[in-house]
Amino acid sequence: MRFPIHLLAAVGLVASAASAAPDAAKPKAPKATAELLAKGRAAFETTCTTCHGTSGDGKGPAGMYLTPPPRHFGVDPFKQGDSIDAIFSTLQSGVPGTAMVSFAHLPEDERWALAWYVSHFLSTKDGKKAKKLVDALPPLTVQGTLPPGPPTSTPPATPATPATPATP
């Protein structure tokens, strides 16, 4: 069976357009700015430090319980690449076989901010650019203050009874 040449050409155009579609839909990394890195630092503090630690060394309080352990960003190789796009992709999809879950529930701009912030732990070109911006940020501060509580005092000791032991 012979197909008309114009039909084959149309099929080829559709196939090439379909293969180009994923690239067209791929989000583009924003430029690193102090505002973006500040947002990334805040998101890292609330989202990532439990596993990766505040310095990105993989020694967060939950890290000791994870197998494999969380990545030390400055030393361990990244399984899915260490470019900004690759870090963003990892945040989007997670890392199979590890405790690194998808953070696709975070808004896209927050995932980009996290990707840039994580890069500041690296010695890559983008990492060095991000580190300069992070180092220039003001220190993190606790938002708000707790109201003063009532004065504390030691409660009186309760005497021992046959049913309960004495408290000091």
Of 118, 88, 119, residue with least CA distance to 104: 88
Tell me whether residue 19 is in a domain.
no
**Would 161 be classed as within a structural domain?**
no
Tell me, yes or no, whether 158 lies in a domain: no
Would you tell me how many other CB atoms lie within 10 Å of the CB of residue 99?
15
Residue 59: inside a domain: yes
Taking only the tens place, the pLDDT of each residue in 109-134 is: 999 999 999 999 999 999 999 999 99
Specify if 80 maps to a domain. yes
In 10 A of CB 91, how many CB atoms?
24
Of residues 2 and 44, more confidence is placed in 44
pLDDT at site 94: 96
In a domain, 75, yes or no: yes
Q: What mean pLDDT comes out for the span 83-88?
A: 97
Q: Residue range 99-103: average pLDDT?
A: 95
pLDDT bin (cut points 50, 70, 90) of residue 166 is: low
Q: What percent of the chain has pLDDT over 90?
A: 66
**Integer Cα distance of 54 and 48 in angstroms:** 8
- Greatest mean pLDDT among 33-37, 77-81, 139-143, 156-160 lies in 33-37
Q: Is residue 149 part of a domain?
A: no
Domain count for the chain, please give it: 1
* pLDDT for position 26: 74
For residue 111, the enclosing domain spans: 35-135
Query: Is 123 a member of any domain?
Result: yes
Averaged pLDDT for residues 58-84: 94
pLDDT at position 3 = 42
pLDDT (0 to 100) of residue 146: 57
pLDDT > 70 in the chain, percent: 69
Identify the CATH number of the domain in which residue 57 sits. Answer: 1.10.760.10
